[in-house]
Structures are given as structure tokens and as C-alpha cells.
Amino acid sequence: MKPAPFSYSRPTTLEEALADLAADPDAKVLAGGQSLVPLLSMRLAAPSALVDINAVPGLDHVRADEEGVRVGALARHAAVMADPAARRVQPLVSLALERVAHPTIRNRGTTVGSLVHADASAEMPVVLVLLGGSITAASATGTRTIEAADLYVGPLESTLRHDEIATEAFFPALPDDAGVAFDEIARRHGDYALCGVAAVVRADEAGTITSVRAGYLSVSDLPTVVDLSEAFAAGAVDEASLDAAADLALASLEPAADIHATADYRAHLARVLTKRVVRQAHDDCTARREGDA
């Protein structure tokens, strides 16, 4: 199918892009086009105008320092994934990006575009929420920071306003006492996951667990983070604590059925992946402390 007619602008400054966006309440930002263009082609979206931000300079950065990783609106998934400093400062970002679609889509799609597209089946929104990150949103009237916890409000729905461009995402650095892991089950590598789980495990110098948090994608309507720490109150990761963590996770999740999986199957995947990923994140935490990661 062909898209419905729309007007198209390719501004060369952020101010111009914001003015174009503010001028038309039905306009949409075009970044990598890897979600928007299929929606246009299927006529699931029919904006009156596209504001293509690809010619706006200064938006394709990936910067990592001791605070965390900052990703500009035009940084492609592939560039973020391959950035060695980003991988060192916050390894969960690259670990999750390895599961985003296929290389051709990662070469074009942007990480910020994925974050604001707000798909609960996508990898990066749940990573942002789990890590307590944020996005910077610019409009013709100013700039604001939206914390990840306030960003997602419904299926494909974020609190980014129509007249705003997300210029940057911020992923906080991995603390010294933490380890991370990410895994998902998909029908084929690169497909959207039937269920995915990311985990951050923290432990003190004696190796005693102090905090375990996990994020779930493709399970509910929103990227969902569950604090599993109480399952590890005894301080160790063993079969009993992992079972308790999976129970705790399932009590907070409401796995949904769709054409790809029943709710029961999703719950089963969430259980298996919770145990697997928490164990891996704990191993990662230990390896980092011993200088092996």
C-alpha cells in the first residue's frame, strides 16, 4: 500500500525543525523511519506532514563519561552498540541493542526514535526505565528533561508532546557494585521478542546481594520494572531465591495474549528468563568485582 499524501520538510537547524513541528499539530518527526515508514505504508498512520530531522547537525553523538551514556537523536542503533566507551560505562545498552531487529534496521533506526516510539515490545524503553534514565525534549518554547519513569503511559504512547523533539537520551553509568544481563525469546533472532528480561544485580564487597531489579518487555502494555530484592533477603542467589524472584515478578506482571503467544506461555517465558537473567547479572557482578568482565 502507498502512504496517504503528506507534506515533507527537511530543516537544517533544530529551531527550524521545532517551528515546522509547532506549525502543524498533525506533523510527525521522521528519524530513522524504521517504525514510521511501515506505519505510513500500511496507512496505520497518516500525518499531514513529516519533519525529517536527518539534516539537523549535532544530533548524532554517542558520549560516555563517568555519569553515563548520552545518545543523540540521530545516533543509529548500530553506532551506539559499537561504541566501546558506551559499552564500558553502561554495558546493558549494547547488550540490549544486540537484540534489536536486524543489522540493516540497526544501521538506520535510531535509539532515541525507539525510545519515544514507546513500543512495549522494544528492547530500549525497558532498559531506559530499568536504569532510571531520561530523555531531553526540546520545543519552540524551551527544553525539559523527562525521567524514564514518567515517559511511558500507554501502548505506543509517551508523555513527549506533539511539538517536542527528543534530542538526547541519557542512560546512567553502571555502579561499581552492579552487574547486568539481558535475554529474550523470539521466534527468530532479530524478531520482536515474545518476552524479554533485563536485570541489574548489586552486591556488597562480601558478595551479599543488596538489590535485584528486572525489566520486562513484550509482557504487558508498558515496559515494566519489578524490584525483586526481597526474594534475595538472605543475600545469596540460589534455586530457592530465584524461584521466589520469579513468583514475585509474576505477581506484578499481567502477561497478555496475542497472535504470537498465549498469556500462559508468556508467563512461563517470564519465569524462565527471570531466573536465567538474574543469575547471569549476579555472575556479571561477581566478575566485575574480580576484574574479569
Residues that bind ligand FAD (CB under 6 A): 28-36, 38, 73, 100-101, 105, 109-110, 112-114, 116-117, 122-124, 160, 165-166, 192
In the bound state with ligand FAD, the residue whose beta carbon lies nearer, of 216 and 232, is: 216
With the C-alpha atoms ordered 114, 117, 118, 121, is the resulting torsion angle positive or negative?
negative
Beta carbon of residue 149, minimum distance to ligand FAD (angstroms, whole number) = 19
In the bound state with ligand FAD, the residue whose beta carbon lies nearer, of 126 and 249, is: 126
Beta carbon of residue 74, minimum distance to ligand FAD (angstroms, whole number) = 8
In the bound state with ligand FAD, the residue whose beta carbon lies nearer, of 101 and 174, is: 101
> What b/e readout covers 157-172, taking b as 16+ CB neighbours within 10 angstroms?
ebebeebbbbbbbbbb
The whole-angstrom distance between residue 114's C-alpha and the CA centroid of its chain comes to 7
Beta carbon of residue 249, minimum distance to ligand FAD (angstroms, whole number) = 21
In the bound state with ligand FAD, the residue whose beta carbon lies nearer, of 53 and 246, is: 53
4/185 Cα distance (integer angstroms): 35
Beta carbon of residue 103, minimum distance to ligand FAD (angstroms, whole number) = 11
Q: Give the nearest residue (CB) to ligand FAD.
A: 109
- Cell 535485584 sits at which residue? 212
In the bound state with ligand FAD, the residue whose beta carbon lies nearer, of 76 and 202, is: 76
Beta-carbon contacts of 30 under 8 Å, excluding residues fewer than 6 positions away, are: 36, 37, 50, 51, 52, 53, 54
35/62 Cα distance (integer angstroms): 22
Beta carbon of residue 87, minimum distance to ligand FAD (angstroms, whole number) = 18
Count of helix runs (H) and strand runs (E) in the chain: 10, 14
Helix (H, G, I), strand (E, B), or coil: what is residue 209?
strand
Beta carbon of residue 28, minimum distance to ligand FAD (angstroms, whole number) = 4
Q: What are phi and psi for residue 261, nearest 5 degrees?
A: -160, 150
In the bound state with ligand FAD, the residue whose beta carbon lies nearer, of 70 and 117, is: 117
